[in-house]
Structure 1
Amino acid sequence: MRVVTGHLPHPLRSDARDNRERILDAARALFATEGLRVPMREVARRAGVGPATLYRRFPTKRELVTEAFTDQLRACRTIVDEGLAHPDPWAGFCLVVEKTCELHARHLGFTEAFMAAYPEAMDFAAARAYSLKSAGELARRAREAGGLRPDFVLDDLILMIMANRGIHALSTAARVAASRRFAALVIQAFRASPEHTRLPPVPRLAPG
Protein backbone atom coordinates (compact mmCIF):
# COMPACT_ATOMS: atom_id res chain seq x y z
CA MET A 1 0.00 0.00 0.00
CA ARG A 2 2.85 2.37 0.74
CA VAL A 3 4.21 1.90 -2.79
CA VAL A 4 0.82 2.58 -4.39
CA THR A 5 -0.01 5.67 -2.37
CA GLY A 6 3.53 6.98 -2.93
CA HIS A 7 2.83 7.09 -6.67
CA LEU A 8 -0.67 8.54 -6.51
CA PRO A 9 0.31 12.24 -6.32
CA HIS A 10 2.17 12.18 -9.65
CA PRO A 11 -0.83 11.73 -11.98
CA LEU A 12 -2.77 14.21 -9.85
CA ARG A 13 -0.06 16.82 -10.31
CA SER A 14 0.02 16.05 -14.02
CA ASP A 15 -3.76 16.44 -14.25
CA ALA A 16 -3.54 19.73 -12.38
CA ARG A 17 -0.90 21.01 -14.82
CA ASP A 18 -2.99 19.90 -17.79
CA ASN A 19 -6.08 21.62 -16.39
CA ARG A 20 -4.12 24.79 -15.77
CA GLU A 21 -2.78 24.88 -19.34
CA ARG A 22 -6.23 24.18 -20.80
CA ILE A 23 -7.68 27.01 -18.73
CA LEU A 24 -4.96 29.43 -19.84
CA ASP A 25 -5.27 28.40 -23.49
CA ALA A 26 -9.05 28.93 -23.34
CA ALA A 27 -8.68 32.27 -21.57
CA ARG A 28 -6.13 33.55 -24.10
CA ALA A 29 -8.36 32.55 -27.02
CA LEU A 30 -11.48 34.13 -25.53
CA PHE A 31 -9.79 37.29 -24.29
CA ALA A 32 -8.07 37.75 -27.67
CA THR A 33 -11.33 37.65 -29.62
CA GLU A 34 -13.94 38.93 -27.14
CA GLY A 35 -12.06 41.01 -24.59
CA LEU A 36 -12.24 40.73 -20.82
CA ARG A 37 -16.02 40.67 -20.56
CA VAL A 38 -16.00 36.90 -21.05
CA PRO A 39 -17.51 35.22 -17.95
CA MET A 40 -15.29 32.88 -15.95
CA ARG A 41 -17.83 30.10 -16.53
CA GLU A 42 -17.36 30.47 -20.29
CA VAL A 43 -13.59 30.09 -19.83
CA ALA A 44 -14.22 26.91 -17.82
CA ARG A 45 -16.60 25.58 -20.48
CA ARG A 46 -14.12 26.25 -23.29
CA ALA A 47 -11.34 24.60 -21.27
CA GLY A 48 -13.47 21.53 -20.58
CA VAL A 49 -13.24 21.85 -16.80
CA GLY A 50 -15.75 22.61 -14.08
CA PRO A 51 -16.06 26.08 -12.52
CA ALA A 52 -14.71 24.69 -9.24
CA THR A 53 -11.52 23.54 -10.98
CA LEU A 54 -11.11 26.94 -12.60
CA TYR A 55 -11.51 28.81 -9.30
CA ARG A 56 -9.10 26.42 -7.56
CA ARG A 57 -6.41 27.34 -10.05
CA PHE A 58 -7.36 31.02 -10.42
CA PRO A 59 -9.47 32.31 -7.50
CA THR A 60 -10.03 35.71 -9.17
CA LYS A 61 -10.38 36.90 -12.73
CA ARG A 62 -7.51 39.32 -12.12
CA GLU A 63 -5.16 36.41 -11.47
CA LEU A 64 -6.34 34.62 -14.60
CA VAL A 65 -5.93 37.73 -16.77
CA THR A 66 -2.47 38.47 -15.41
CA GLU A 67 -1.27 34.93 -16.03
CA ALA A 68 -2.90 34.68 -19.45
CA PHE A 69 -1.17 37.83 -20.71
CA THR A 70 2.30 37.10 -19.34
CA ASP A 71 3.69 36.72 -22.87
CA GLN A 72 2.17 40.02 -23.97
CA LEU A 73 3.68 41.79 -20.97
CA ARG A 74 7.10 40.46 -21.95
CA ALA A 75 6.45 41.50 -25.55
CA CYS A 76 5.79 45.10 -24.44
CA ARG A 77 9.16 45.26 -22.75
CA THR A 78 10.88 43.68 -25.75
CA ILE A 79 9.28 46.18 -28.14
CA VAL A 80 10.41 49.27 -26.24
CA ASP A 81 13.85 47.78 -25.63
CA GLU A 82 14.19 47.11 -29.35
CA GLY A 83 13.16 50.68 -30.11
CA LEU A 84 15.66 52.11 -27.63
CA ALA A 85 18.44 49.94 -29.07
CA HIS A 86 17.88 51.17 -32.64
CA PRO A 87 20.70 53.45 -33.86
CA ASP A 88 18.15 55.84 -35.41
CA PRO A 89 15.82 57.16 -32.65
CA TRP A 90 13.06 58.10 -35.11
CA ALA A 91 13.16 54.67 -36.75
CA GLY A 92 13.12 53.10 -33.28
CA PHE A 93 10.12 55.23 -32.34
CA CYS A 94 8.27 54.18 -35.51
CA LEU A 95 9.04 50.55 -34.73
CA VAL A 96 7.49 50.93 -31.27
CA VAL A 97 4.36 52.51 -32.74
CA GLU A 98 3.93 49.78 -35.35
CA LYS A 99 4.61 46.81 -33.09
CA THR A 100 2.59 48.19 -30.18
CA CYS A 101 -0.46 48.71 -32.38
CA GLU A 102 -0.18 45.21 -33.80
CA LEU A 103 0.30 43.60 -30.39
CA HIS A 104 -2.83 45.24 -29.03
CA ALA A 105 -4.81 44.50 -32.20
CA ARG A 106 -4.06 40.79 -31.89
CA HIS A 107 -5.16 40.58 -28.26
CA LEU A 108 -8.29 42.60 -27.55
CA GLY A 109 -8.39 41.96 -23.82
CA PHE A 110 -4.76 42.90 -23.37
CA THR A 111 -5.36 46.60 -24.04
CA GLU A 112 -8.07 46.70 -21.39
CA ALA A 113 -5.89 44.89 -18.87
CA PHE A 114 -2.80 46.92 -19.66
CA MET A 115 -4.48 50.32 -19.60
CA ALA A 116 -7.23 50.28 -17.03
CA ALA A 117 -8.98 47.11 -15.93
CA TYR A 118 -6.47 45.81 -13.41
CA PRO A 119 -4.22 48.71 -12.40
CA GLU A 120 -3.65 47.12 -8.98
CA ALA A 121 -2.11 43.99 -10.50
CA MET A 122 1.60 44.47 -9.86
CA ASP A 123 2.75 42.78 -13.06
CA PHE A 124 0.65 45.08 -15.19
CA ALA A 125 1.52 48.17 -13.16
CA ALA A 126 5.25 47.47 -13.40
CA ALA A 127 5.11 46.62 -17.12
CA ARG A 128 3.03 49.70 -17.89
CA ALA A 129 5.36 51.97 -15.91
CA TYR A 130 8.47 50.53 -17.59
CA SER A 131 6.98 50.71 -21.08
CA LEU A 132 5.80 54.30 -20.71
CA LYS A 133 9.04 55.47 -19.13
CA SER A 134 11.08 53.83 -21.91
CA ALA A 135 8.77 55.19 -24.60
CA GLY A 136 9.18 58.65 -23.10
CA GLU A 137 12.96 58.35 -23.28
CA LEU A 138 12.78 57.15 -26.89
CA ALA A 139 10.46 60.03 -27.78
CA ARG A 140 12.94 62.50 -26.27
CA ARG A 141 15.73 61.09 -28.43
CA ALA A 142 13.57 61.08 -31.56
CA ARG A 143 12.53 64.69 -30.92
CA GLU A 144 16.14 65.82 -30.37
CA ALA A 145 17.16 64.02 -33.58
CA GLY A 146 14.56 66.01 -35.49
CA GLY A 147 12.30 63.13 -36.46
CA LEU A 148 9.48 63.58 -33.94
CA ARG A 149 7.36 66.73 -33.88
CA PRO A 150 8.34 69.08 -31.02
CA ASP A 151 4.85 69.30 -29.49
CA PHE A 152 4.53 65.51 -29.01
CA VAL A 153 3.63 64.43 -25.46
CA LEU A 154 3.55 60.94 -23.99
CA ASP A 155 -0.23 61.07 -23.64
CA ASP A 156 -0.35 61.00 -27.44
CA LEU A 157 0.79 57.38 -27.26
CA ILE A 158 -1.99 56.64 -24.77
CA LEU A 159 -4.49 58.17 -27.20
CA MET A 160 -3.02 56.02 -29.96
CA ILE A 161 -3.47 52.81 -27.95
CA MET A 162 -7.03 53.75 -26.98
CA ALA A 163 -7.94 54.57 -30.59
CA ASN A 164 -6.31 51.39 -31.86
CA ARG A 165 -8.41 49.40 -29.41
CA GLY A 166 -11.54 50.75 -31.09
CA ILE A 167 -10.83 49.00 -34.40
CA HIS A 168 -13.57 46.48 -35.18
CA ALA A 169 -13.18 43.94 -37.97
CA LEU A 170 -14.55 40.63 -39.18
CA SER A 171 -11.43 38.72 -38.22
CA THR A 172 -8.16 39.07 -36.33
CA ALA A 173 -6.30 39.27 -39.64
CA ALA A 174 -8.48 42.16 -40.81
CA ARG A 175 -8.10 43.90 -37.45
CA VAL A 176 -4.30 43.60 -37.64
CA ALA A 177 -4.31 44.90 -41.23
CA ALA A 178 -6.43 47.88 -40.16
CA SER A 179 -4.10 48.47 -37.22
CA ARG A 180 -1.09 48.59 -39.54
CA ARG A 181 -2.75 51.25 -41.67
CA PHE A 182 -3.71 53.16 -38.54
CA ALA A 183 -0.11 52.99 -37.29
CA ALA A 184 1.11 54.37 -40.63
CA LEU A 185 -1.29 57.30 -40.31
CA VAL A 186 -0.19 57.90 -36.71
CA ILE A 187 3.47 57.92 -37.71
CA GLN A 188 2.78 60.52 -40.39
CA ALA A 189 0.98 62.64 -37.79
CA PHE A 190 3.90 62.31 -35.35
CA ARG A 191 6.57 63.14 -37.92
CA ALA A 192 8.24 66.55 -37.51
CA SER A 193 8.32 67.20 -41.26
CA PRO A 194 5.24 66.00 -43.17
CA GLU A 195 6.16 63.26 -45.60
CA HIS A 196 3.38 61.45 -47.38
CA THR A 197 4.40 57.83 -47.78
CA ARG A 198 2.26 55.08 -49.26
CA LEU A 199 -0.16 53.62 -46.72
CA PRO A 200 -0.77 49.89 -46.22
CA PRO A 201 -3.91 48.57 -47.98
CA VAL A 202 -7.36 49.04 -46.46
CA PRO A 203 -8.84 45.81 -45.05
CA ARG A 204 -12.54 45.00 -45.04
CA LEU A 205 -13.88 46.18 -41.69
CA ALA A 206 -17.61 45.63 -42.11
CA PRO A 207 -19.89 43.24 -44.04
CA GLY A 208 -20.14 44.21 -47.70
Structure 2
Amino acid sequence: MVEESSRIAGPARLRADARRNQERILVSARAVFAEHGIDAPMATVARRAGVGVATLYRRFPTRDALVRAAFAQQLETCARALTEALADPDPWRGFQRLVETACALQREERGFPAAFVAAFPDSTAEHAQARERAERDLMTLVRRAQEAGALRADFHPSDLAVALLSHCGLVNALPHDDAASRRLVAYLLQSFRAEPAHGALPPPSTLSLRSLPLAADNSPGRRPSRA
Protein backbone atom coordinates (compact mmCIF):
# COMPACT_ATOMS: atom_id res chain seq x y z
CA MET A 1 0.00 0.00 0.00
CA VAL A 2 2.83 2.37 0.92
CA GLU A 3 4.65 1.43 -2.28
CA GLU A 4 1.52 2.14 -4.36
CA SER A 5 1.04 5.52 -2.68
CA SER A 6 4.64 6.43 -3.46
CA ARG A 7 4.12 5.57 -7.11
CA ILE A 8 1.04 7.80 -7.22
CA ALA A 9 2.65 10.71 -5.37
CA GLY A 10 5.91 10.61 -7.35
CA PRO A 11 4.61 12.06 -10.64
CA ALA A 12 2.57 14.64 -8.74
CA ARG A 13 5.71 15.79 -6.93
CA LEU A 14 7.53 16.05 -10.26
CA ARG A 15 4.73 18.11 -11.74
CA ALA A 16 4.78 20.40 -8.72
CA ASP A 17 8.56 20.74 -9.01
CA ALA A 18 8.24 21.57 -12.68
CA ARG A 19 5.67 24.25 -11.91
CA ARG A 20 7.90 25.73 -9.24
CA ASN A 21 10.87 25.70 -11.62
CA GLN A 22 8.83 27.47 -14.26
CA GLU A 23 7.64 30.12 -11.83
CA ARG A 24 11.20 30.68 -10.58
CA ILE A 25 12.36 31.10 -14.18
CA LEU A 26 9.65 33.67 -14.94
CA VAL A 27 10.29 35.65 -11.74
CA SER A 28 14.02 35.59 -12.43
CA ALA A 29 13.51 36.59 -16.05
CA ARG A 30 11.52 39.68 -15.04
CA ALA A 31 14.25 40.65 -12.56
CA VAL A 32 17.10 40.07 -15.04
CA PHE A 33 15.30 41.90 -17.86
CA ALA A 34 14.67 44.84 -15.52
CA GLU A 35 18.35 45.03 -14.62
CA HIS A 36 20.01 44.19 -17.94
CA GLY A 37 17.34 44.48 -20.64
CA ILE A 38 15.60 41.76 -22.63
CA ASP A 39 18.84 40.95 -24.47
CA ALA A 40 20.40 39.62 -21.26
CA PRO A 41 21.93 36.13 -21.66
CA MET A 42 19.52 33.28 -21.10
CA ALA A 43 22.22 31.70 -18.92
CA THR A 44 21.92 34.67 -16.55
CA VAL A 45 18.22 33.98 -16.15
CA ALA A 46 18.87 30.28 -15.52
CA ARG A 47 21.53 31.09 -12.94
CA ARG A 48 19.22 33.53 -11.13
CA ALA A 49 16.45 30.92 -11.10
CA GLY A 50 18.77 28.18 -9.81
CA VAL A 51 18.10 25.86 -12.76
CA GLY A 52 20.24 24.53 -15.56
CA VAL A 53 20.29 26.21 -18.96
CA ALA A 54 18.94 23.01 -20.49
CA THR A 55 15.95 23.14 -18.13
CA LEU A 56 15.27 26.74 -19.14
CA TYR A 57 15.38 25.91 -22.85
CA ARG A 58 13.10 22.93 -22.38
CA ARG A 59 10.48 25.26 -20.92
CA PHE A 60 11.19 28.23 -23.20
CA PRO A 61 13.00 27.24 -26.40
CA THR A 62 13.50 30.86 -27.60
CA ARG A 63 14.06 34.25 -26.02
CA ASP A 64 10.78 35.39 -27.60
CA ALA A 65 8.93 32.62 -25.78
CA LEU A 66 10.56 33.54 -22.46
CA VAL A 67 9.88 37.27 -22.81
CA ARG A 68 6.26 36.66 -23.76
CA ALA A 69 5.73 34.25 -20.87
CA ALA A 70 7.44 36.55 -18.37
CA PHE A 71 5.21 39.47 -19.32
CA ALA A 72 2.13 37.55 -20.43
CA GLN A 73 -0.11 39.25 -17.88
CA GLN A 74 1.03 42.73 -18.88
CA LEU A 75 0.67 42.01 -22.59
CA GLU A 76 -2.81 40.63 -22.00
CA THR A 77 -3.72 43.75 -20.03
CA CYS A 78 -2.60 45.93 -22.95
CA ALA A 79 -4.60 43.86 -25.43
CA ARG A 80 -7.69 44.09 -23.21
CA ALA A 81 -7.20 47.85 -22.82
CA LEU A 82 -7.17 48.27 -26.60
CA THR A 83 -10.35 46.19 -26.94
CA GLU A 84 -12.08 48.24 -24.24
CA ALA A 85 -10.90 51.48 -25.84
CA LEU A 86 -12.51 50.50 -29.14
CA ALA A 87 -15.74 49.60 -27.35
CA ASP A 88 -15.91 52.92 -25.47
CA PRO A 89 -18.54 55.23 -27.04
CA ASP A 90 -16.22 58.16 -26.25
CA PRO A 91 -13.15 57.55 -28.47
CA TRP A 92 -11.00 60.12 -26.66
CA ARG A 93 -11.74 58.55 -23.29
CA GLY A 94 -10.86 55.15 -24.75
CA PHE A 95 -7.62 56.51 -26.20
CA GLN A 96 -6.69 58.22 -22.94
CA ARG A 97 -7.27 55.10 -20.87
CA LEU A 98 -5.23 53.02 -23.32
CA VAL A 99 -2.23 55.37 -22.99
CA GLU A 100 -2.57 55.53 -19.21
CA THR A 101 -2.78 51.75 -18.94
CA ALA A 102 0.29 51.16 -21.10
CA CYS A 103 2.30 53.73 -19.14
CA ALA A 104 1.13 52.37 -15.78
CA LEU A 105 2.37 48.91 -16.81
CA GLN A 106 5.71 50.41 -17.83
CA ARG A 107 5.91 52.05 -14.42
CA GLU A 108 4.94 48.97 -12.41
CA GLU A 109 7.21 46.40 -14.09
CA ARG A 110 10.60 47.82 -15.02
CA GLY A 111 11.41 45.10 -17.53
CA PHE A 112 8.15 45.52 -19.40
CA PRO A 113 8.89 48.72 -21.34
CA ALA A 114 11.56 47.04 -23.46
CA ALA A 115 9.37 43.97 -23.94
CA PHE A 116 6.46 46.16 -24.99
CA VAL A 117 8.31 48.17 -27.63
CA ALA A 118 10.59 45.38 -28.89
CA ALA A 119 10.03 43.62 -32.20
CA PHE A 120 10.58 39.99 -31.35
CA PRO A 121 12.71 38.38 -34.08
CA ASP A 122 11.45 34.88 -33.37
CA SER A 123 7.75 35.75 -33.44
CA THR A 124 5.47 33.15 -34.95
CA ALA A 125 2.95 33.83 -37.69
CA GLU A 126 0.27 33.88 -34.98
CA HIS A 127 2.12 36.60 -33.06
CA ALA A 128 2.66 38.58 -36.25
CA GLN A 129 -1.08 38.42 -36.99
CA ALA A 130 -1.86 39.55 -33.45
CA ARG A 131 0.45 42.55 -33.86
CA GLU A 132 -1.09 43.44 -37.21
CA ARG A 133 -4.58 43.21 -35.69
CA ALA A 134 -3.51 45.46 -32.80
CA GLU A 135 -2.08 48.00 -35.25
CA ARG A 136 -5.33 48.01 -37.25
CA ASP A 137 -7.37 48.45 -34.06
CA LEU A 138 -5.16 51.33 -32.98
CA MET A 139 -5.59 52.99 -36.37
CA THR A 140 -9.36 52.62 -36.01
CA LEU A 141 -9.29 54.16 -32.53
CA VAL A 142 -7.15 57.07 -33.75
CA ARG A 143 -9.46 57.70 -36.71
CA ARG A 144 -12.55 57.70 -34.48
CA ALA A 145 -10.99 60.13 -32.01
CA GLN A 146 -9.96 62.43 -34.86
CA GLU A 147 -13.41 62.30 -36.45
CA ALA A 148 -14.89 63.20 -33.06
CA GLY A 149 -12.69 66.30 -33.03
CA ALA A 150 -10.90 65.21 -29.85
CA LEU A 151 -7.54 64.04 -31.21
CA ARG A 152 -5.25 66.26 -33.26
CA ALA A 153 -5.81 65.83 -36.99
CA ASP A 154 -2.06 65.49 -37.55
CA PHE A 155 -1.62 62.78 -34.90
CA HIS A 156 -0.02 59.61 -36.29
CA PRO A 157 0.10 56.23 -34.50
CA SER A 158 3.90 56.46 -34.58
CA ASP A 159 3.52 59.41 -32.20
CA LEU A 160 2.21 56.97 -29.61
CA ALA A 161 5.32 54.82 -30.06
CA VAL A 162 7.48 57.93 -29.53
CA ALA A 163 5.50 58.80 -26.39
CA LEU A 164 5.88 55.30 -24.96
CA LEU A 165 9.61 55.31 -25.69
CA SER A 166 9.92 58.68 -23.95
CA HIS A 167 8.04 57.38 -20.94
CA CYS A 168 10.17 54.23 -21.02
CA GLY A 169 13.31 56.37 -20.72
CA LEU A 170 11.86 58.26 -17.76
CA VAL A 171 10.85 55.06 -15.98
CA ASN A 172 14.28 53.52 -16.51
CA ALA A 173 16.05 56.63 -15.22
CA LEU A 174 13.64 57.28 -12.32
CA PRO A 175 12.00 53.94 -11.49
CA HIS A 176 10.59 55.15 -8.17
CA ASP A 177 9.32 58.59 -9.20
CA ASP A 178 5.66 57.89 -9.91
CA ALA A 179 4.84 61.61 -9.78
CA ALA A 180 7.17 62.38 -12.67
CA SER A 181 5.66 59.52 -14.68
CA ARG A 182 2.06 60.62 -14.16
CA ARG A 183 2.87 64.24 -14.95
CA LEU A 184 4.65 63.31 -18.18
CA VAL A 185 1.69 61.16 -19.24
CA ALA A 186 -0.69 64.05 -18.53
CA TYR A 187 1.47 66.42 -20.60
CA LEU A 188 1.62 63.94 -23.48
CA LEU A 189 -2.15 63.44 -23.48
CA GLN A 190 -2.77 67.19 -23.44
CA SER A 191 -0.41 67.61 -26.38
CA PHE A 192 -2.41 65.01 -28.33
CA ARG A 193 -5.73 66.78 -27.84
CA ALA A 194 -7.24 68.85 -30.62
CA GLU A 195 -8.66 71.28 -28.06
CA PRO A 196 -6.57 73.63 -25.90
CA ALA A 197 -5.26 72.03 -22.73
CA HIS A 198 -7.71 72.01 -19.86
CA GLY A 199 -7.80 70.48 -16.42
CA ALA A 200 -5.13 70.45 -13.74
CA LEU A 201 -1.98 68.39 -14.12
CA PRO A 202 -1.04 65.79 -11.48
CA PRO A 203 1.24 67.08 -8.67
CA PRO A 204 4.82 67.74 -9.80
CA SER A 205 7.79 65.54 -9.08
CA THR A 206 10.40 66.48 -6.48
CA LEU A 207 13.06 66.12 -9.19
CA SER A 208 15.30 69.14 -9.76
CA LEU A 209 17.89 69.98 -12.41
CA ARG A 210 20.62 69.28 -9.87
CA SER A 211 19.33 65.76 -9.30
CA LEU A 212 19.02 64.77 -12.95
CA PRO A 213 20.68 61.39 -13.60
CA LEU A 214 22.82 62.77 -16.44
CA ALA A 215 25.29 59.90 -16.48
CA ALA A 216 23.87 56.47 -17.27
CA ASP A 217 26.15 54.80 -14.74
CA ASN A 218 24.74 57.01 -11.97
CA SER A 219 21.09 56.48 -12.87
CA PRO A 220 18.90 54.96 -10.14
CA GLY A 221 18.68 51.22 -10.47
CA ARG A 222 21.97 50.95 -12.37
CA ARG A 223 25.18 49.54 -11.03
CA PRO A 224 28.30 51.69 -11.18
CA SER A 225 30.69 50.74 -13.96
CA ARG A 226 33.93 49.04 -13.14
CA ALA A 227 37.21 49.87 -14.80
TM-score (norm 2): 0.77
For the pair 1:169 / 2:173, whether they are aligned, the reply is yes
For the pair 1:183 / 2:185, whether they are aligned, the reply is yes
- Higher mean alpha-carbon deviation, 120-129 vs 186-195, is at 120-129
Q: In structure 2, which of residues 16, 24, 27 is the aligned counterpart of residue 25 of structure 1?
A: 27
Q: 1:102 to 1:129 in 2, by over 3 A?
A: farther
For the pair 1:118 / 2:120, whether they are aligned, the reply is yes
Q: Identity, % of aligned pairs?
A: 48
Q: In structure 2, which of residues 143, 151, 168 is the aligned counterpart of residue 140 of structure 1?
A: 143
What amino acid is aligned across from residue 73 of structure 1 in structure 2?
L
What amino acid is aligned across from residue 128 of structure 1 in structure 2?
R
Q: In structure 2, which of residues 131, 144, 162 is the aligned counterpart of residue 128 of structure 1?
A: 131
Secondary structure of 2:47's counterpart equals helix
**Structure having greater relative contact order (Cα 8 Å, sep ≥ 6):** 1
Q: In structure 1, which of residues 33, 54, 57 is the aligned counterpart of residue 56 of structure 2?
A: 54
| Post-superposition CA distance 1:102-153 (Å, at most 9, x none) | 2233334333333334144136534433332222111111111111111111
TM-score (norm 1): 0.84
| Post-superposition CA distance 1:130-178 (Å, at most 9, x none) | 332222111111111111111111111121122222113343x42x433
Find the aligned partners of 1:58 and 1:204 in 2 and give their Cα distance.
42
Q: 1:177 to 1:169 in 2, by over 3 A?
A: farther
- Unaligned 5+ residue runs, structure 2? 212-227
RMSD across aligned C-alpha pairs, in angstroms?
2.6
- Higher mean alpha-carbon deviation, 3-12 vs 145-154, is at 3-12
Secondary structure of 1:166's counterpart equals helix
Higher helix share: 1
Secondary structure of 1:192's counterpart equals coil
Contact 1:69 1:110 in 2 (8 A): yes
Find the aligned partners of 1:80 and 1:193 in 2 and give their Cα distance.
23
Find the aligned partners of 1:124 and 1:110 in 2 and give their Cα distance.
17
Number of residue pairs the alignment of both structures matches:
206
- Unaligned 5+ residue runs, structure 1? none
What amino acid is aligned across from residue 69 of structure 1 in structure 2?
F
Q: In structure 2, which of residues 143, 151, 156 is the aligned counterpart of residue 153 of structure 1?
A: 156
Find the aligned partners of 2:134 and 2:197 in 1 and give their Cα distance.
28
Q: Report the equivalent of 1:201.
A: 203
Q: 1:170 to 1:110 in 2, by over 3 A?
A: closer
